[in-house]
Chain A
Amino acid sequence: GAGVSQSPSNKVTEKGKDVELRCDPISGHTALYWYRQSLGQGLEFLIYFQGNSAPDKSGLPSDRFSAERTGGSVSTLTIQRTQQEDSAVYLCASSLVQGASQPQHFGDGTRLSIL
């Protein structure tokens, strides 16, 4: 079956531009997560959705970052006025429901490069 799909797979943009990253979770998965991973580093949690609401936005690094999820499915992560330190791989994951016993299934990420 279809896994988590992210687009674009690569994005190169100039500093100061806005970018929008898209995540299509596995069909029927109610929980959706955004992470980012810098080169050679571990996962950095950004935000979590249960349905369309985001009960945990604690990981968003600044107010330039925002995310939304509509229809309980597709999610977009928007970064405004990009900075070079935003360069990373942005990963999306989904799980059937939220909880410690639930596996998270990841997409292959969007590699974002800020020039």
Chain B
Amino acid sequence: DAKTTQPNSMESNEEEPVHLPCNHSTISGTDYIHWYRQLPSQGPEYVIHGLTSNVNNRMASLAIAEDRKSSTLILHRATLRDAAVYYCILRDNNAGNMLTFGGGTRLMVKP
């Protein structure tokens, strides 16, 4: 999978929106952008994914830049339960079936 770059950590206040950035300048046309998060002592949790267009689901929104070289995960109203490590990864059908997590962004939510 192509490489992604994320900030090591971010802070947010409870009930405020959070924008988590991800750079993927070497993305190919067939790479899907996936976001997962991992809360302490739990398995990873799928958040959202997209290819070219922005995506919304009950958990979050995914905004994808027009050139696809970056994307932003948007949590509309952060709660304490959203404190986790967020992973942005690229997945290509040609690159195997496994997920490979980089360092991710540790999101801290302040009450």
Q: Which A residues fall within an 8 A CB radius of B?
A: 4, 31, 33, 35, 42-43, 45, 48, 56, 59, 91, 93, 98-101, 103-109
Q: Is the CB of A108 within 8 A of B42?
A: yes
* Listed residue (A4, A98, A104) with the most chain B CB atoms within 10 angstroms of its CB: A104
Tally the A-B contacts, defined by beta carbons under 8 Å.
60
The chain A residue with its CB closest to the CB of B90 is A100
Rounded to whole Å, the gap between the CB of B52 and the closest CB of chain A is 12
Known contacts A101-B49, A103-B34, A103-B49; A45 and B99 CB within 8 A of each other: yes
CB–CB A48/B98 < 8 A: yes
Bound CA span A107–B44, Å: 8
In B63-111, the 8 Å CB interface with A consists of: 91-93, 95-103
Point out the residues of chain A lying under 8 angstroms from B49, CB to CB: 101, 103
Give 18 CB contacts A-B under 8 Å: A31-B97, A33-B98, A42-B102, A43-B44, A43-B99, A48-B98, A93-B43, A93-B44, A98-B97, A99-B93, A99-B97, A100-B95, A101-B49, A101-B51, A104-B44, A106-B44, A106-B46, A109-B43
> How many angstroms between the C-alpha atoms of A4 and B44 in the bound complex?
12
Question: Are A45 and B98 in contact, with the CB atoms below 8 A?
Answer: yes
A59 to B96, CA, bound (A): 12
Q: For residue A104, which residues in chain B have a CB less than 8 angstroms away from its CB?
A: 44, 46, 99
Interface hits, B7-50 → A, CB 8 Å: 30-32, 34, 41-46, 49
Cβ contacts under 8 Å, A42 to chain B: 100-103
Given A100-B93, A101-B51, A43:B101 Cβ within 8 A: yes
* Chain B residue at minimal CB-CB distance from A34: B98
A101-B49, A106-B45 are known contacts. Are A45 and B100 too (CB-CB below 8 A)? yes
